[in-house]
């Protein structure tokens, strides 16, 4: 009797769940290629949840299942079985993998999967382990809960990526990023189905990989901050377990100062050289006329080719201005003797020599736009920072290519800007065959202004929007829905251990010297760091400066500003919307109150004093907003003079201070315009 009652209760509960459980498939990110909601009751996630394998099983797949169970436990607060050796017929989730695929992930590997969920079980079928890894991430995103417990709604998902190259470049040279940073970002990449970690290892500011053949490269060029070869292997293995390739970049012939600290004899001008402490573009470059350069590169690149298993190796090749070449009489004589007309042609000569070395060691060369010349062999991959037209031109000439223009996440642009950039836009001039040469894209995290503490906030969650652009069908372009799902993804990423949210409170408490940071939280919810390359001019710092100021606490795509913009537009569109107005009033009152306090406390705090005007500006934004709401209707106070003064003050508030800027100004102007017109009409 007791057993029958229990079964009936479970049935009733699951039935209740099923009534409201059908809409959550729309929370997935990236959106799969095909999603069909099923009928019937959902699959319950209870203490009896279990995972079993059918078909191929290996250590990588077992490890992935183990990580999945750990994450599911954290999410559900349930103690689940860690065993994956049970009978598939009795398991809650069956992973049916047809074969191992590539032990070390490679370009073009089949990443497809099919996930079928019914009330009795979920079946994840994939041709390779990598495909199974992608499906596991989707399954975890499908788990939801209500008062009755946790469950997955019935669904059939058939999924595969649009592009085979979906990368994140992390520059560890300008500011060193240690192993924990790399690992947690690899976890995040896997969660959004990215598959290429582009590791930018050398720069003017640092040489970050151990060379046993030429130890002066890393011992003298790194300030002691570099990855040993054992650590490199550790990262490669960690990435491979998550279906992620590791493509190293050794920038040459420019961006080469750190190379020359230990080997000045390879430079195009006499040494000695010192590690560069400033951001920017610098003159030091390898001497392309010096045979010793190619001898060292042959040995060094051979050493790195043995260390990094991926077929591709990136040589950089960007932003070499050739100033040292111009001043070197021996280089000029070499150019004249060999009919090399300019520095562009000289770099092409250098690239040709390096290409031969890489081919000798079994690697495919990849480089930035600058390496693209008509005579470049077709198997060289072009990495475009210049844009879609440059990428298309390379594809038309027969080259494979990857886009990063539009995906420079270090420039603090909103996710919406990145989201709408497509490697193959709808108006692309490319033929069907030429489009296939566009491999995908990479988000680029240049590290002039990030530390291990802040870097996550500059990468995530915005990079999830780029990941979706590279995985999902081209017609997935709803920006508002992207932001809705990005908010959900932000929590998922935090559950993985990312610091993109948690770092902010820590940094604000440090700046305030207090646990009470409510006012500062209000401020940073509506300001962002200045965008593009403005920080260079507005807050000059060296690579040794602490990145712990208010600008570092402020995040891209400020959540409060975005929500305010939606609220203001709802009020405007609904013509005095009754639900929006009180929320706006509460917002403006908070801005005025918190801003008034901040104008005083920030001025008295040496760590925050540079941003004290931001507090006063927040106060005035609240004041203008409350006046605008008071003008709404028949008030006679909304004169043309008030309107002009309000707009002028908003323009002034919109100017950057402490290298931060308010990102609510345009929404405030729209609100002022609306309420001013209503009030003036009423007069």
Angstrom distance (rounded) from CA 264 to CA 480: 53
CB–CB of 404/131 below 8 Å?
A: no
pLDDT bin (cut points 50, 70, 90) of residue 678 is low
pLDDT bin (cut points 50, 70, 90) of residue 185 is very high
Angstrom distance (rounded) from CA 221 to CA 276: 10
pLDDT bin (cut points 50, 70, 90) of residue 681 is low
Whether the pLDDT of residue 464 is over 60: the answer is yes
Angstrom distance (rounded) from CA 633 to CA 622: 19
Q: Residue 291: exposed, middle, or buried by beta-carbon count in 10 A (0-12, 13-18, 19+)?
A: exposed
Whether the pLDDT of residue 636 is over 60: the answer is no
Whether the pLDDT of residue 7 is over 80: the answer is no
- Which residues are identified as catalytic? 319
Chain-centroid distance, C-alpha 328: 41
H helices within 544-579, ranges in order?
Answer: 550-553, 559-573
Q: What is the mean pLDDT of the chain?
A: 94
What is residue 282's predicted lDDT score, i.e. its pLDDT? Answer: 97
Q: Residue 78: exposed, middle, or buried by beta-carbon count in 10 A (0-12, 13-18, 19+)?
A: middle
- 145 token code pair: 């809960």
Angstrom distance (rounded) from CA 424 to CA 433: 12
pLDDT bin (cut points 50, 70, 90) of residue 639 is confident
Whether the pLDDT of residue 394 is over 90: the answer is yes
Angstrom distance (rounded) from CA 295 to CA 291: 6
**Which residues 6+ apart lie within 8 Å of 439 measured at CB?**
107, 163, 164, 165, 381, 400, 401, 402
Closest CA to 397 of 374, 370, 422, 420: 374
Cis peptide before 272 (omega within 30 of 0): yes
What is residue 103's predicted lDDT score, i.e. its pLDDT? Answer: 84
Whether the pLDDT of residue 383 is over 70: the answer is yes
Angstrom distance (rounded) from CA 8 to CA 2: 10
Whether the pLDDT of residue 26 is over 90: the answer is no
Whether the pLDDT of residue 408 is over 50: the answer is yes
**Which domains, ranges and CATH numbers included, belong to the chain?**
2-159 (3.30.379.10), 165-476 (3.20.20.80), 502-682 (no CATH)
For 277-295, the pLDDT digits (tens) are 999 999 999 999 999 999 9
Angstrom distance (rounded) from CA 491 to CA 525: 17
| Furthest C-alpha separation in the chain | 99
Which range has the worst mean pLDDT, 11-20, 374-383, 515-524, 525-534? 11-20
Which range has the worst mean pLDDT, 78-87, 186-195, 468-477? 78-87
With pLDDT > 90 as the criterion, what percentage of the chain qualifies? 90
Closest CA to 477 of 243, 226, 248, 162: 162
Closest CA to 111 of 93, 135, 137, 141: 135
Task: Find the helix packing angle between 640-653 and 665-682, rounded to 10°.
Answer: 180
What is residue 640's predicted lDDT score, i.e. its pLDDT? Answer: 83
Closest CA to 407 of 351, 458, 334: 458
Angstrom distance (rounded) from CA 494 to CA 515: 22
């Amino acid at each position: 009797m007791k057993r029958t009652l229990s079964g009936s209760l479970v049935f009733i509960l699951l039935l209740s769940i099923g009534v409201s459980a059908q809409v959550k498939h729309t929370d997935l990110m990236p959106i799969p290629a095909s999603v069909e909601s099923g009928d019937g009751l959902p699959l319950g996630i209870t203490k009896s949840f279990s995972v079993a394998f059918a078909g191929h099983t290996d250590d990588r797949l077992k490890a992935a299942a183990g990580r999945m169970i750990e994450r599911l436990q954290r999410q559900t607060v349930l103690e689940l079985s860690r065993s994956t050796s049970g009978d598939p017929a009795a398991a809650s989730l069956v992973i049916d993998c047809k074969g191992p695929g590539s032990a070390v992930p490679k370009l073009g590997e089949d990443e497809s999967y099919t996930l079928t969920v019914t009330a009795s079980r979920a079946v994840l079928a994939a041709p390779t382990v990598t495909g199974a890894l992608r499906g596991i991430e989707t399954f975890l995103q499908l788990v939801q809960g209500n008062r009755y417990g946790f469950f997955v709604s019935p669904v059939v998902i058939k999924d595969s990526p649009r592009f085979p190259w979906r990368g994140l470049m992390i520059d560890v040279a300008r500011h060193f990023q240690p192993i924990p940073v790399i690992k947690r970002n690899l976890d995040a990449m896997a969660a959004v189905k990215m598959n290429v970690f582009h590791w930018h290892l050398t720069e003017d500011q640092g040489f970050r990989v151990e060379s046993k053949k030429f130890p002066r490269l890393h011992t003298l060029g790194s300030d002691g901050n570099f990855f040993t070869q054992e650590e490199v292997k550790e990262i490669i293995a960690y990435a491979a377990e998550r279906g992620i390739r590791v493509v190293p970049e050794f920038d040459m012939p420019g961006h080469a100062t750190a190379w020359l600290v230990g080997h000045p004899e390879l430079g195009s001008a006499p040494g000695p050289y010192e590690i560069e402490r400033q951001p920017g573009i610098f003159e030091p470059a390898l001497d392309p006329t010096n045979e010793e350069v190619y001898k060292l590169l042959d040995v060094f690149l051979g050493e790195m080719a043995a260390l990094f298993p991926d077929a591709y190796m990136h040589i950089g090749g960007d932003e070499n201005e050739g100033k040292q070449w111009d001043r070197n009489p021996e280089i000029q004589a070499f150019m004249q003797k060999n009919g090399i007309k300019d520095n562009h042609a000289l770099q092409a000569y250098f690239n040709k020599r390096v290409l031969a070395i890489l081919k000798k060691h079994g690697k495919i060369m990849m480089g930035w736009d600058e390496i693209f010349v008509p005579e470049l062999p077709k198997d060289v991959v072009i990495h475009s920072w210049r844009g879609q037209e440059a990428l298309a031109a390379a594809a038309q000439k027969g080259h494979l290519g990857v886009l990063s223009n539009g995906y420079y996440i270090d420039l603090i642009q909103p996710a919406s800007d990145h989201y709408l950039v497509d490697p193959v836009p709808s108006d692309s001039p490319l033929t069907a065959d030429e489009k296939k040469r566009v491999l995908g894209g990479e988000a680029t995290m240049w590290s002039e202004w990030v530390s291990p503490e802040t870097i996550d906030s500059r990468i995530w969650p915005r990079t999830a929007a780029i990941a979706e652009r590279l995985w999902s069908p081209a017609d997935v372009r709803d920006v508002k829905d992207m932001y809705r799902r990005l908010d959900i993804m932000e929590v998922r990423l935090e559950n993985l251990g990312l610091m993109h949210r948690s770092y902010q409170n820590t940094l604000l408490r440090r700046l305030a010297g207090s646990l009470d940071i409510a006012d500062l939280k209000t401020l940073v919810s509506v300001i962002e760091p200045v965008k593009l390359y403005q920080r260079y001019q507005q807050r000059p710092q060296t690579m040794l400066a602490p990145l712990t100021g208010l600008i570092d606490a402020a995040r891209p795509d400020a959540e409060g500003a975005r929500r305010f913009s939606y609220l203001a537009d709802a009020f405007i569109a609904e013509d005095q919307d009754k639900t929006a107005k009180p929320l706006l009033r509460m917002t403006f009152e908070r801005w005025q109150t918190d801003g008034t306090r901040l104008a005083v406390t920030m001025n008295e705090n040496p760590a925050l004093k540079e941003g004290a005007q931001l507090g006063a500006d927040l106060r005035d934004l609240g004041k203008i907003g409350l006046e605008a709401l008071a003008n709404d209707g028949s008030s006679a106070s909304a004169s043309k003079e008030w309107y002009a003064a309000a707009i002028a003050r908003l323009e002034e508030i919109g100017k950057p201070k402490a290298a931060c800027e308010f990102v609510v100004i345009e929404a405030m102007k729209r609100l002022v315009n609306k309420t001013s017109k209503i009030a003036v009409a009423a007069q």
